Structure 1
Amino acid sequence: MGKLHNTSLVWLLLSLLSQFCSGKQKVPAIIVFGDSSVDSGNNNFIPTVARSNFEPYGRDFFGGFPTGRFSNGRIPPDFISEAFGLRPTVPAYLDPSYNISHFAYGVCFASAGTGYDNATSSVADVIPLWKEVEYYKEYQQKLITHLGKAKANEIIGEALYLVSIGTNDFLENYFAFPQRQCEFTIQEYEDFLIGLAERFLRGLYALGARKVSLTGVPPMGCLPLERTMNLLEDHGCVEKYNDVALEFNGKLGDLVRKLNRELDGFQVVDANAYDLVVQIITQPSSFGFEDAREGCCGTGRFEMGFLCDPNSPFTCNDANKYVFWDAIHPSEKTSQIVSNYLVQTHLAKFL
């Protein structure tokens, strides 16, 4: 694995060097939509319990302070932004310490706890996906005022849009509450979400987006929280949930092909990292990890958000040994491995 990673890293560095020497990058900004997998702190500024702006979150971030990222450090959009020769972090749109001069290079509209389904965002009173789009429209107007229409439109059209969303629709909504189960079978609910995803992506296209990375859901049955609750199978992965993830991701792939075929100039990439994440979880030592069953925070079995007590004596000393940071979210090291993989494979066409 090490030799492969080193070769890929050299290739990536040479690609970036070529960009800098040419004086112009193909991607001028990273624009992010989604849930906690990509939220860099928007939830800090809304009334919700779905926050992570306290220790030990962020202890390995620049300066060692919590930002609202559900991680011990950086998250995928940060690594992807850096890989594209942009800034090493993508700021949250609602964070008042940033302004349009920062957002011109990258901006995050994501909200931890949200989903394609509006009912999902209502569970923890977070920002629904339609509101993320409204913020994006507001951002466009600010960008035009800041840079002029021509330059703003260039950024809007050439930016790389990262979309990572869907897990909460299943784990925090469909499987957690009866309402959607009464309305839909699981396959029908998947199709319902696919319809919402199509509407969202067509809306982005109408607003000028042309380069989109669409990430599906991870092997959600292998998240530490789900394994903790899987008492009947000795805390193994909940294969029912993984099967749903595979089925849903397959439908997302079909949607990507459909949109690329129907929308002129639209380049949507099916940035599916499911297999890699399964490999990391099942063969952690191959990637330098020691534990893939529990998170670093607290006991690692059920803690996330406010349950990650900064005074917990159980929190690990070195998060780099853990695939997961808390019972739901990956550690910074895992995010970096997955991000590097996506840049070297699915996103390489945009470099």
Structure 2
Amino acid sequence: MEHKNTVIFTLLFSLAMTLITLPSPTNATSPSVSALFAFGDSTVDSGMNNVLTPLVRCDHPPYGRDLPGHVPTGRYSNGKIATDFMASNLGLKDLLPAYLDPKLTDFDLLTGVSFASGASGLDDLTLKLSHAFSMGKQLEYFDEGVERMKRTVGEKNGSEIVENALFVISVGTNDLILNLYEFPVTERKTQFTSTDQYSEFLLQRLGSFIEALYRRGARRFMVAGLPPIGCLPLQQTVGGIIDLRPQRVCVTQQNIDSETYNSKLQALLSSLQTTLLPGSKLAYFDIYSPIMDMFNNPAKYGFVETDEGCCGTGKVELGPLCTRLSPTCPDAAKYLFWDAVHPTEAAFFAIADFALKTVLRYLVAS
């Protein structure tokens, strides 16, 4: 009976792999991606934090109000996030589940999951503050997931899934906010004399993480840069308090820091691909430009509000401060931000569409 079940599952897996290689009815750029695996912070977390302290969780209303069934899943938005749209565009699945989702099946795992953890970062001190899953812990979960896949479909098939998968990494914002921007005195401010030095420290850690995935068989990487951190509603609020400024405006220096970091990230990825990671494809995913375009040209995207989030006052609420008791805007699609840090589903859609038209075409090309 056990042998019979194994044969049936193998046949079903083979059929699924065949279907994945067929042209998708969505705007998929290529049939060659077997799975999507996401790592990093809340921008790509689809529910990993649901088992952690309430401080870093969002598995409660009004989060998820515009998802099918209006159920909060642990996504830091009113609906889908960018990796959900990417998985759909690649013809893999409609929603990219979290690895720790109790409903996750072995079959679901084969086409990808998110290992990302909201409030995570590249700096260990960030994790001491947030208590989220570190990048190292996310890597451990990935190792566990790969072994699970190989038990399901065999060593060879499991390795091929990893080799043909797309790895999305989005991390770094929390490190700058928590260790440099939000508190007047921090250990990193004492240790590093400039934001540039701290960025170099973060990028070294990011490079090591990419190399670790490469050693495990990963070959295609989409690495997101930093957003315009100074334009996040929370940073506008904090910046206004620090500068005694009544009007809400972007913190210029924080945006400059993001742009500098992003330039260094592009150089790092180019260096890794040409010198250390033969046979790999590493693409820098520019999220700074589309978010700034949404901020500066809101009508182009149907937005009417870019300075404040949809939840509560829109100035400070996120996670445990954005609750079922918080008033929310009637139509989140008119807002760039859902809470004081995270984009709405409409903004995430625009970000994923930008990825589809740019880096995805390069990464999935044979």
Say yes or no: TM over 0.5: yes
SS of aligned partner of 2:308: strand
Q: Hey, what does 2:187 align to over in structure 1?
A: 179
Tell whether 2:326 aligns with 1:312. yes
2:252 corresponds to: 239
- Report SS of the residue matched to 1:28: coil
Distance in 2 of aligned mates of 1:114 and 1:208: 24
Match of 2:343 in 1: 330
Q: Secondary structure at the match of 2:351?
A: helix
Q: Which residue of the partner structure matches residue 343 of structure 1?
A: 356
Residue 156 of structure 1: SS of its match in structure 2?
helix
Are the counterparts in 1 of residues 179 and 189 from structure 2 also a CA contact under 8 Å?
no
Q: Match for 2:75 among 66, 69, 72?
A: 69
Matched, 1:215 2:224: yes
Alignment-derived partner of residue 192 in structure 1: 201
Look up the equivalent residue of 2:187 and give its one-letter code: Q
Letter in 2 for 1:183: Q
Matched, 1:281 2:287: no
Q: CA deviation at 1:175?
A: 2.2
1:19 to 12, 20, 23: 23
Counterpart code for 2:285:
A
The one-letter amino acid paired with 2:33 is V
**Correspondence 1:31 to 2:37:** yes
For 1:163, what is the secondary structure of its paired residue? strand
Partner Cα distance (2:354, 2:52) in 1: 33
Q: For residue 88 of structure 1, what is the amino acid of its counterpart?
A: D
Cα pair 1:297 1:316 within 8 Å, conserved: yes
Instruction: Give secondary structure in 2 for the equivalent of 1:151.
Output: helix
Q: Report the more deviating stretch, 281-290 or 31-40.
A: 281-290
Greater mean deviation of Cα atoms: 43-52 or 324-333: 43-52
1:136-155 CA-to-partner distances (Å, cap 9, x unmatched) read 11111111101101110110
- Which residue in the other structure is 1:157 paired with? 163
User: How far does the alpha carbon of each residue in 1:223-281 deviate from its partner, in whole angstroms, 9 at most, with x for none?
Assistant: 01111223234221001110110000111000110011011111010111211110101
The TM-score normalised by the length of structure 2 is 0.88
State the partner residue of 1:168: 174
Partner of 2:3: none
Quick one: distance in 1 between partners of 2:274 and 2:238? 42
| Alignment check: 8 A CA contact 1:140 1:152 kept | yes
Task: Work out whether 1:290 is the aligned partner of 2:298.
Answer: no
Aligned to 1:50: 56
Q: Identity across aligned pairs (percent)?
A: 37
Query: SS of 1:33's equivalent?
Result: strand
| AA at the equivalent of 2:315 | R
| Partner in structure 2 of residue 227 of structure 1 | 236
Report the counterpart of residue 97 of structure 1 in structure 2. Answer: 103
Q: 1: distance between equivalents of 2:47 and 2:357?
A: 27
Cα distance per residue 1:181-205 (max 9 Å; x no partner): 0001211110001110111111110
Q: Distance in 1 between matches of 2:21 and 2:213?
A: 31
Moved more, 323-332 or 303-312: 303-312
Q: Which amino acid aligns with 1:310?
A: R
- The residue number in structure 2 matching 1:137 is 143
Give me the whole-angstrom Cα distance separating, in 2, the residues matched to 1:252 and 1:230: 26
The Cα offsets for residues 86-116 of structure 1, whole Å up to 9 and x where unpaired, read as 1011111111111322111111100000111
SS of match in other structure, 1:291: coil
Kindly state the Cα deviation for residue 18 of structure 1 after the two structures are TM-superposed.
7.0
Measured in 2, the distance between the counterparts of 1:96 and 1:229 equals 37
Q: 2:280: which partner in 1?
A: 266
The answer to whether the 8 Å contact 1:45/1:95 transfers is no
| Cα shift at 1:63 | 0.9
What does residue 130 of structure 2 align with? 124
Residues 22 and 31 of structure 2 are in contact (CA less than 8 Å); yes or no, is this contact kept in structure 1? no
Once residues 347 and 204 of structure 1 are traced to their aligned partners in structure 2, the CA distance between those partners, rounded to angstroms, is 19
Q: Determine the C-alpha separation between the residues in 1 that align with 2:189 and 2:259.
A: 19
8 Å CA contact 2:310, 2:332 repeated in 1: yes
1:255 matches 2:261? no
For these two proteins, the number of residue pairs brought into alignment is 333
Contact 2:54 2:320 (C-alpha < 8 Å) held by counterparts: no
Q: Is contact 2:126-2:175 (8 Å) kept?
A: yes
Partner amino acid for 2:23? Answer: Q
Which segment drifts farther, 195-204 or 303-312?
Answer: 303-312
Tell me the SS of whatever aligns to 2:31: coil
